[in-house]
Amino acid sequence: MFIRKRKNPSGSISIQIIDKSNGKYKVVETIACVKDKKELEFYIAKAESRLKQLNPNLFDAVEFNEKKHRFIGIKNKEISVVGPDIIFGYIMEYIGCDKILKKLKEKELFKQLVLSRIIDPGSKLNLIDYLYIYKHQNLDKNEIYRFLDTLSLNLKDKIEQCIFEYTSMVTGGIRVSFYDVTTLYFEASSEDDLRKVGFSKDGKFTKPQIILGLLTSLEGYPLGFEIHEGNCYEGKTFIPMLEKFQKKFNIEKPIVVADSGLLSEANILELEKLNYRYILGARIKSSSSEIKNKIVSLNLNDEKNNETIYFSKNQKMIVSYSQQRAKKDRYTRTKNYEKLKIKIKSGNLTKAHLNNKGYNKYLVLSDSQTTISIDEDKYNYDSSFDGLKGFVTNDFSLNPTQIIEHYTNLWHIERAFRISKTDLKIRPIYHRLEHRIYSHILISFVAYTVYKEFDRKLKINNISIKRKNAIGFIKSMYGIVHDNEISLLELSPEQEQIYKLFY
């Protein structure tokens, strides 16, 4: 039983005693119907007294629950969260990055900075709260800043070397490398030599940013990264990083895979000059009229879904057709066509809209120079490219299926950026000094490597627990720590599954 205050249409409030049995509500007694606040308080007290008369056992149960709880002789400060250290800390040791730091205190702080990116991402100062609440440790913020100052570019090289060796071992050697860039913004308004306002992939066009170039192997295993000025053209970041990577690790030049945003005539000429094999996404609608007519004349479909166009003895384009892609292209094109018709009808379009930006390319000016309309022939011609995708390569040793498969694997690097931005919260960046910015990216780079190895372990052992839930189970692994020895509390079935992957 319980007391209910029910508001009536007239504005008055009915005070009732309700009984709930078998999922049904029954009015046991209506105590009063009131409008005044003082009356309400008086009759609520009366209802409580009446409720006690009707069901005295209810109040006996409340009094019982208010009794003191039983203590078992273990202090809260003796129990710590140990899951992140015994799982993700183990992975860090397995990868070998912790061996680069010599001092035990620095090694432990580096580990905690990396692990906090995975389990409790946020500002560096978040780590202070995490260690205090969950591990009963005190850490001064100046210790963190002094440590970030020591993570120099020399240490970056050593950590990249360590991660390269790990990736080589996991993948069986680096034969193909994937490159892409993203932007990372700052919670600041002022620019400097590195932090510049530029084209933002996060939509933060008024905030200074940096460009992060990431190099991965097959399936998104990390190889290296570089940072560039926020207003730098992303195509210019491509070749220097490849050269630096190849020389640093002294390996045979891998096949380079990158998307169409990095495809420029200058880049292709430079790749060929440096004897790189490449697979690059092609902007087929931006090709010459001759090439576009050749592509359309291929008449690709589900049965004949790829064909090769030879540009020269050293370069060719694979054109691929996908019914799913065709459906998506058709939907997008039709949707934007309808939007243009609405804008034309409203009279909101001017000569300034006559450009090649997006679907404005379909707009034309009438002969009288007074009205804007849609070029139907151009729109219909574009439908010929629905479902088509082009891949430019100079590698004649690979067949079309292999080339398409290699390029399709670019989604792994897109996933790497997505994980870094969402799960590891690599941005926004709050640091101002360049070397601390490098340290922040370096910590996130190692955290992504640890995350990727954990992901690999779950995958190869067919563990069906979702990644996010798995991290939650790890965060709730508790133990008693005494003299650097951990006594684990009893694990749940899911925690035991994860634990057995490593021990």
Same domain? For 103 and 141 the reply is yes
Domain assignment present for residue 373? The answer is yes
Structure token digits, residue 98? 């912790």
Domain assignment present for residue 349? The answer is yes
The pLDDT value recorded for residue 90 is 93
Report the side by side order of strands in the sheet with 278-282: 222-229, 209-216, 176-185, 255-258, 278-282, 388-393, 316-321, 306-310
Could you report the per-residue pLDDT of 258-281, keeping only the tens digit for each? 877 666 778 788 888 888 888 888
- Predicted TM-score (pTM) of the model is 0.68
Confidence grade of residue 64 (pLDDT, cut at 50, 70, 90): very low
Query: 């390996």: which residue's tokens?
Result: 251
Same domain? For 58 and 86 the reply is no
Same domain? For 44 and 100 the reply is no
Work out the average pLDDT over 47-59: 74
Same domain? For 58 and 120 the reply is no
Average pLDDT of the chain?
Answer: 80
* Number of other residues whose CB lies within 10 A of the CB of residue 377: 10
* CA 162 from centre of chain: 24
Domain assignment present for residue 247? The answer is no
Work out the average pLDDT over 243-250: 81
- Radius of gyration of the chain, Cα coordinates, nearest whole angstrom: 32
Same domain? For 91 and 133 the reply is yes
Measuring CA to CA, which residue among 384, 291, 283, 377 is closest to residue 330? 384
Same domain? For 51 and 104 the reply is no
Domain assignment present for residue 98? The answer is yes
Work out the average pLDDT over 214-220: 80
Could you report the per-residue pLDDT of 69-80, keeping only the tens digit for each? 666 677 777 788
Structure token digits, residue 214? 């990431």
Higher pLDDT residue, 123 or 457?
457
CB 129 within 8 A of CB 122: no
Which amino acid, residue 418? R
Domain assignment present for residue 405? The answer is no
Same domain? For 381 and 331 the reply is yes
Could you report the per-residue pLDDT of 223-240, keeping only the tens digit for each? 887 776 666 666 677 788
- Candidate from 95-99, 148-152, 286-290 with smallest mean pLDDT: 148-152
CB 409 within 8 A of CB 219: yes
Domain extent at residue 341: 325-385
Same domain? For 59 and 102 the reply is no
Domain assignment present for residue 30? The answer is yes
Domain assignment present for residue 29? The answer is yes
Same domain? For 84 and 55 the reply is no
Same domain? For 45 and 106 the reply is no
pLDDT at position 191 over 60: no
Domain assignment present for residue 437? The answer is no
Cis peptide before 493 (omega within 30 of 0): no
CB 317 within 8 A of CB 390: yes
Q: Residues 6 or more apart from 356 whose CB is under 8 A from it?
A: none
Higher pLDDT residue, 417 or 339?
339
Same domain? For 94 and 149 the reply is yes
- Candidate from 23-32, 79-88, 276-285 with smallest mean pLDDT: 23-32
Same domain? For 128 and 93 the reply is yes
Measuring CA to CA, which residue among 380, 171, 386, 180 is closest to residue 280? 180
CA distance 315 to 293: 18
CA distance 75 to 78: 5
Strand partners of residue 81: 478
Number of structural domains (the chain) is 3
